[in-house]
Amino acid sequence: MKRRLNEIACVFRIHLARLRVEAGPFLLAAIAFPAGMYLFAAAIGDVGSAGIADTDHRLRFLSASVVFSLSLTAISWLGYLLLENRFTGRLKLFATLPLAPSSYVLGILIFALAQAAIGTSSLLVVARVLGVRTGLMTPVGLLVLAALVVLAMLAVSGVAVIVAARARSFSEGSLLTDALGAGLVLLAPIYYPPEAAPRALRVFAGMLPTTYAARGVQVTLTGGTHVARELLVLALMAAVTLTVAFRVMRLSEE
């Protein structure tokens, strides 16, 4: 057990060191792009409301941007790092430690959760500066928000691991992670009301973790804590994607 924990900590520290060196792309994915999407959506929403700021709309856009940050961080940015590890030969270096594939995945997931904490807290601070007031006033609300963020991050990080492990080339994997990072948000009815989407898209969106994550985050930002359904669905999705991720991950290529 001690050896396994040391392996996980080793993988986490290696990627944390890379984050310090390559902070620019992370800040773009975790904070800059989601904040820009929030400002864009809020501006359009204000225009649609004859220039009157709607608090409910602002909180919906904020929750959507939080999930956008999680998706870009977990799939696009983390997926890129995993692909780089695989196709530059770094995975073979991990294999020579020797390192269990499960330790590698767990270290990556802890690194992803650390990124999620930075991105989410930063967006909440940015929203506060922009005048958005949330209902996160109690420790229970903060715990529920943290649980939603963790489960959502685990679910989408599992997707990134699967893509990185099965991609046939670096370019193919990069294209898939970029498309999924934004697509899982733009195809989910979170920046716009569900009734605005075609019925087929609403059915498809019901299978996306981003849909339930944004719905749950919005409830917590308004001061609610009744998100048991969202937590359960995200937990099931995380269990499925991570189970597949652990099965397909290899530390060496034939």
Q: How far is CA 132 from the centre of its chain?
A: 22
Domain annotation covers residue 88: yes
Is residue 130 in a domain?
A: yes
Inter-residue contact 139 to 224 (CB < 8 Å) = no
User: Looking at the domain assignment, is residue 97 inside a domain?
Assistant: yes
Q: Is residue 254 part of a domain?
A: no
Q: At how many degrees (to 10) do helices 2-21 and 101-129 cross?
A: 50
Query: Has residue 90 been placed in a domain?
Result: yes
**Residue 129: both structure tokens together:** 């500066």
- Report if residue 253 sits inside a domain: no
CA separation for the pair 27, 77 (Å, rounded): 10
User: How many structural domains are present in the chain?
Assistant: 1
- What integer pLDDT is reported at residue 53 of this predicted model? 55
State which amino acid sits at residue 79: G
Q: Identity (one letter) of the amino acid at 168? A: R
According to the model, what pLDDT value does residue 105 have?
Answer: 81
Structural domain includes residue 61: yes
Answer positive or negative: Cα dihedral of 234, 237, 243, 248: negative
For residues 237 and 26, give the distance between their C-alpha atoms in angstroms, rounded to a whole number: 25
Whether residue 238 is contained in a domain is answered as: yes
189: containing domain? 2-248
Express each pLDDT in 62-112 by its tens digit: 999 999 999 999 998 888 888 888 888 776 666 666 677 778 888 888 999
The first and second tokens of residue 25, run together, are 């792309």
**C-alpha distance from residue 181 to each of 29, 103, 115 (Å):** 10, 24, 15
Q: What angle do CA 25, 111, 16 make, to 5 degrees?
A: 65
Mean pLDDT in consecutive groups of 10 residues from the start of the chain, 254 residues: 80 82 84 91 67 72 94 90 82 67 84 92 91 83 94 93 89 92 90 84 90 94 91 96 85 47
Look at residue 52 in the predicted model and tell me its pLDDT: 45
Sequence letter at residue 109: L
